[in-house]
Structure 1
Amino acid sequence: MNYMDTLEKELISMGEGLIASLPSLAIGVVILFATWVVGKIAVRITGRISARANLRESLQALIQTVTRVGVWVIGLMIAATVVLPGLDPSGLVAGLGLGTVAIGFAFQDIFENFLAGVLIMLRESMEIGDLIEVEGVMGKVEHISLRETHLRQLTNELTIMPNSMLFKNPVKILTDAHVRRDELMVGVSYDTDLDHALEVIRGALDGIEAIDTERPMSVFAWNYGASSVDFLVQWWSDARPRDRRETKSEVVRNIKKALDNAGIEIPFPYITHTFKEPVPLAQPAKEAAE
């Protein structure tokens, strides 16, 4: 057997087959290009329709992504049937089913994050722009994709979290409501008239405009501390972090000023040293010399 002749015949046959399939390949490339154009137009149209329907931003992103994936799946199936004439749509769908199962086992984490991303986008409770806390990470939701969520922390670091982490773990949404309750412990000395101190603290809150007056402000004599009687002060203010910090700063300043004006001491811990035996006191050097 002449191996070189056999190899030459095979190469010639492959070349002729490639040349014969060039028109189909060209048509397939045209179909892929058309798929890209149609996908762009379809995503733009669905984006405009979802925006006019006043859907949530995350839901708009989900609709656009599903539209893009659907257009590409159809385009790839059409291109495959053109390039490979012996491949019928039913066989292609069956092959895709088996391939999806195999890929699913190989890339389980990726598909888990994908499905979690879809479910997160369908949620109504969490939106882009919300301040959330999950697994000790607190930040503002900047972007939600089908695989990951971007959180901008209050210190301006960007944290990219897998969607499965947000789906499996409890998520604390800090800006779900426009107001939040804050609290502060204030201590006064034990010889203070507690009723008078309570009125002074409550009066210090009345002049703060940032406090939501439609909700109750509470001042309770709460605890016996090591060197003070502690009052628990509670109020409601804007849920945004910066507004909460500014409001709390004003609360602290006003309460301190009100207690000072009323002559009420905010005590600090007193330390008393006890010795079991008499402690000799050293005399000054001048007296010792005399």
Structure 2
Amino acid sequence: MQKIAIITDSGSDLSSDLLKEHNIFSLPFRIIYSDNEYEDGVSITPYELYDSLEKEIPTTSLPCMKKIESILTNLEEEGYTHVIAIHISSALSGTSNSVRLALEDHPNLTSYVYDSKTLSMAQGSIVLSASKLVKEGKTFEEIISLLPTYRKSVHTYFTLNTLEYLKKGGRIGRVAGTIGELLNLKPIVFVGDDGIYQTYAKARGRKQSINKLKEIVEGYLSKNKCNIWIIEGNAIEESNAILNALKTNENINEISTATVGPALGVHTGPGLLGFIIEEL
């Protein structure tokens, strides 16, 4: 009899309530300041992070190896036989590799580490889908075979107030923009199939960039039913306005807002606004 555990990391932006409801085990990234260290979403909130950025831009680090080891040991003690670990894009973090290495010391756990090649609620939606399959009694082999299908169905688009934080954090990917910033051009960024940030389009100013995001979402909704997450980083009023404008669309299956966690917020800064689109 298989007893399957689903593991992810805090880059999935799944709330503590969702983690608990779906019995998902999450590894928090570390937020490191000159005088202190915090666990992403555990001992520091997104808004505490944004409030601190003017004083100091912290660095981020992989989940603590002791934490990974502790979770794996506890899973064995609780009788789990299989582990499916679904992690943030390996182009942005080495978490997948760290977990893969840790699992080598736990041969009693049959495991599979999946590089989601995405982040935030796009990663979170894959994790939730996998956890639902566990509840439905699907086998380990069935679940891992479906993960690429779930990845193909999710799309991530967002805009930023500034590229400063992506540049400082070394996460700029294929997003270009120094000259564009001088012209107040705001990039619409998407996460490619390779898990790297890329420029999808540019818009003049904040209002136009948000309108472009809406056009992108409406394009998907004109073709398919979708689940939509509006992701925001210290832009809750704008995200609520978009929620109210879109929620009556008949092709939306579910729609909600989600706050980008501290570890991702370090690299995007305040003002991120975007969409995770899951085609059904």
Q: TM-score range by the shorter chain?
A: under 0.3
- Give the structure-1-normalised TM-score: 0.22
Give the number of the structure whose alpha-carbon radius of gyration is greater. 1
Structure number with the bigger relative contact order (C-alpha 8 A, sep ≥ 6) is: 2
- Give TM-score, length-normalised by structure 2: 0.23
